[in-house]
Structure 1
Amino acid sequence: MDERIDLAAPAVRWLWKKGSLRESTVLQSFAFDEVHKRLYVLQVRRGGGAAGNLCLNKLDYDGNRLGHMYLHGFGHGVSMGVQHAADGTVWIWTEADSRGGYGRGVTRFRFVDGAVRTAEDVEIRKPIPGSTSNQPSVCTVSNRIAVRHRMGGKPRYRVWDLDAFAAHDYSDPIADIPQPGAHPDPAIAFQGWALHGEHVYQLAGTAYDDSTNPPAERGNAYLSCLDLRTGKLVQRQRTGAGHSLDYREPEGLAIRPTPEPRLCLGLASGAAGARKFSIYYKPLT
């Protein structure tokens, strides 16, 4: 599967200024269950960032919350994934085993409304020994999983067949590449990523700031795309999607696989303690 979403395509608004998440913090990442038309959104719990405490929200496609669960000691929630198993089970993939607020491994679990999960409740996988800041993404079209991680402090991506990975076989990765070029300014915060076929999409940027990132300039958020086969940066594009939002912090990137692939971008807005979220998308053109 070689299709690539053009980052220069105009962004389309999908959800706008939704305040339905359980916590009052920003969204961190999100993923789609297209089979059941559900949207899962991760947040850091209020006051729980250093401990890696997360809240997982389950929403419908209108942005209404249908339930939530808490994940204590898991990580920061930079990315996540949804897997549909052959037996119909829906698995949620996230980072796990937090150290300093970021996961040293990954895990999968079923969504259970109102539940609280800790490291003792899940199986923690460490497919890349010695790595830190592990963050998974699932491509349901190619049936692959990727883990963004750091080795010696440097971020990389490693990709596997999802069935092999689920069976604990990490011996034959499809790709293993460094993370280049998320933003023209390497000091700007990395805010999310998503796997789709032969490509990895990245998001970087910061919230509006009157002195360094003024609203009049429509923000400093950039989208970028890497080719897994070569490890090269193939496109990078500044995006002004949602530029009229107040605060406007880019947060989270995901692929909605049907009716056609859409690269979906999360944006946080609103006052501290009462954050809202919006989602825009770029279609396959």
Structure 2
Amino acid sequence: MAEHIDLAAPAVRWVREKATLREPTVLQSFAFDEVRHHLYVLQVTRGGLEDGDLCLNRLDHGGGRLGHMYLKGFGHGVSMGVQNDPDGTVWIWTEADALHGYGKGVTRFRFANGATRTTKDVEVRYPIEGSRNNQPTLCTATRRMAIRYRLKNVPRYRVWDLNAFIARDYASPLADFPQTGAHPDPAVPFQGYALHGDHLYQLAGTAYNARTNPAAHHGNTYLSCLDIRTGELLASHRTGAAHTLDYREPEGLAVRHAGGPRLYIGFASGEPGARKFSLYYKPQT
């Protein structure tokens, strides 16, 4: 894992303009269960933005929906992770305990089709005292947990060994560093991140807008890569992946190891109230 994924490599289409998510809203983030060949996708529910109400979709790798569950008061769903245990247990990691729509902590739970969970139904962890906007993801190759968080409204990342994190040993993280380099314009929204080995990948950008982000210019979506050992920005690249989509809002990053590693990028398209999702990936070359 010495080399990071080439952000300038041509993007490959994986699924395009699927309308199979439970809610008609955009995807927020996604993660792979590579053992069972499932794809999990988080959405904010209709009318649930301020309260942090999410819908978790379980899909097959063709984008077909296999089930869903609702998470009331969990957060915004900026990132998520899937943990596979040796005994076959699958845990879903998300933010939890929403304040103004974003999680003050994180949690893990098992998928239950058709169920509704509140933060009273799960054990919420608060590993970073005083933080807000806690957003977890996993590197399954190295069994590491990362959390993007805000402390005094400044975004940062913290990384732990997953086993230590599960044991609630938060005192000795592997890394802690500020978010940097997500986009040349710091006012452009952050849209997701993924951890793979010693590298952390970031996504930022907005939907097409005729005045500020015209489709003719193929959008303002940027990918970037940080070294978790130093916090250094290693690479930044504007991507034209999926530029022919209408609307085209970047939403979510994940790394899949099968045939890879590959860095997957989510995009929302379609009309309000009837959004679709697409996934493209950058292979390691």
TM-score, normalised to structure 1, is 0.99
- 2:262 corresponds in structure 1 to 262
- 2:124 corresponds in structure 1 to 124
Deviation per residue, 1:157-201 (Å, 9 max, x gap) = 000000111111111100000000100000000000001100110
**C-alpha separation in 2, matches of 1:266 and 1:105:** 24
- 2:115 corresponds in structure 1 to 115
SS of equivalent residue, structure 2 residue 271: coil
Q: Residue 147 of structure 1 aligns to which amino acid in structure 2? A: I
- 1:171 corresponds in structure 2 to 171
- 2:62 corresponds in structure 1 to 62
**C-alpha separation in 1, matches of 2:200 and 2:118:** 29
- Aligned positions of 1:130-145 closer than 5 A: 130-145=130-145
- 1:200 corresponds in structure 2 to 200
Kindly indicate whether residue 29 of structure 2 is the aligned counterpart of residue 29 of structure 1: yes
**C-alpha separation in 2, matches of 1:167 and 1:59:** 30
- 1:102 corresponds in structure 2 to 102
**C-alpha separation in 1, matches of 2:3 and 2:95:** 28
- 2:15 corresponds in structure 1 to 15
Deviation per residue, 1:135-158 (Å, 9 max, x gap) = 001000011000000011000000
**C-alpha separation in 2, matches of 1:3 and 1:63:** 30
Q: Residue 233 of structure 1 aligns to which amino acid in structure 2? A: L
- C-alpha contact 1:95 1:135 (8 A) present in aligned 2: yes
Deviation per residue, 1:16-75 (Å, 9 max, x gap) = 000000000000000000001000000000000000000000000000000000000000
- 2:44 corresponds in structure 1 to 44
SS of equivalent residue, structure 2 residue 216: helix
Percentage of pairs with the same residue: 68
Kindly indicate whether residue 254 of structure 2 is the aligned counterpart of residue 274 of structure 1: no
Deviation at 1:88, TM superposition (A): 1.4
**C-alpha separation in 1, matches of 2:257 and 2:52:** 29
Q: Residue 251 of structure 2 aligns to which amino acid in structure 1? A: E
Q: Residue 175 of structure 2 aligns to which amino acid in structure 1? A: A
Deviation at 1:129, TM superposition (A): 0.5
Deviation at 1:2, TM superposition (A): 2.3
Q: Residue 16 of structure 1 aligns to which amino acid in structure 2? A: R
Deviation at 1:259, TM superposition (A): 2.3
Deviation at 1:107, TM superposition (A): 0.2
Deviation per residue, 1:188-231 (Å, 9 max, x gap) = 00000001100110000000000000000000000000000111
Deviation at 1:87, TM superposition (A): 1.7
Which is worse superposed, 253-262 or 207-216? 253-262
Deviation per residue, 1:234-273 (Å, 9 max, x gap) = 0000000000000000000000121221000000000000
Q: Residue 214 of structure 2 aligns to which amino acid in structure 1? A: P
Q: Residue 38 of structure 1 aligns to which amino acid in structure 2? A: H
Give runs of ≥4 in structure 1 deviating > 3 Å: none
- 1:233 corresponds in structure 2 to 233
**C-alpha separation in 1, matches of 2:130 and 2:231:** 22
**C-alpha separation in 2, matches of 1:3 and 1:168:** 31
Q: Structure 2 stretches of 5 or more lacking a match? A: none
- C-alpha contact 1:3 1:197 (8 A) present in aligned 2: no
**C-alpha separation in 1, matches of 2:168 and 2:152:** 24
TM-score, normalised to structure 2, is 0.99
Which is worse superposed, 12-21 or 162-171? 162-171
Kindly indicate whether residue 221 of structure 2 is the aligned counterpart of residue 221 of structure 1: yes
SS of equivalent residue, structure 1 residue 275: strand
- C-alpha contact 1:200 1:226 (8 A) present in aligned 2: yes
- C-alpha contact 1:29 1:41 (8 A) present in aligned 2: yes
**C-alpha separation in 1, matches of 2:257 and 2:186:** 30
Deviation at 1:3, TM superposition (A): 3.3
